[in-house]
Amino acid sequence: MKIIGFTIARNITKYHYPVKEAILSILSICDEFIVNVGKSEDNTLDVIKSIDSPKIKIVEKEWNDSLGKEMLSFETNFALNLCKGDWTFYIQADEVVHENDLSRLKKYMFRYINDKRVDGFRFRWLHFYGSFHRYRVDAGWFQKQARIIRNNGMIISGGDAWGFIRKDNKPVNVIKTSCCIYHYGWVHTPKAMYLRKKNAQNIGDRKSVV
């Protein structure tokens, strides 16, 4: 069984994305990790290069801002298409998986490796909000999304890369896990949050800063 991690990164220092921590949180169970690094105004590329692991594969490219919020799924799918393995593990630049969940997730993947009916695995979400001691689980804050998907060419990132869809428009068949994604997109200073919101609006996403 081969597990390939992947993510996208651009201007991560400017907008306070803990992408290095995100990658490192799942790197130990990945056989390879693809990072689509967009042309940045800061040291994003250096941050990714500072991850001392032969598993990291960096692809540098200029992202197409004219796509609006669809750019995020387009660039996510670009990275996904470079993954060569049984399962792909997607993590966004402000998400972290707890180390205690990694062995459990690997067991899930091994158990269902030959069950083609299973497209992926769903996580629970903890959205930290305002501080590291408070999180939101109320309506409007998504709680259940897949981040591990079968690498069969049928499942792609959709919309603003919030989740995955099937090319044939059938529902994505996922196994629910009790494992969590810890989301840190709303734990910043007011100035940082303002910059992130402006950036989200500039690419057409007026609902979030993620």
**pTM to 2 decimal places:** 0.87
Scanning the structure block, which residue is given the tokens 């062995």?
103
- Smallest CA-to-CA distance from 31 within 1, 75, 76 is with 1
Whether pLDDT at 174 is above 70: yes
In angstroms, rounded to a whole number, what is the distance separating the alpha carbons of residues 126 and 208? 16
In angstroms, the CA 53 to CA 49 distance is 9
Mean pLDDT in residue range 74-83:
98
Half-sphere exposure in the Cβ direction for 32 (13 Å, CA)? 15
Mean pLDDT score across all residues of the chain:
86
pLDDT class of 208 with cuts at 50, 70, 90: very low
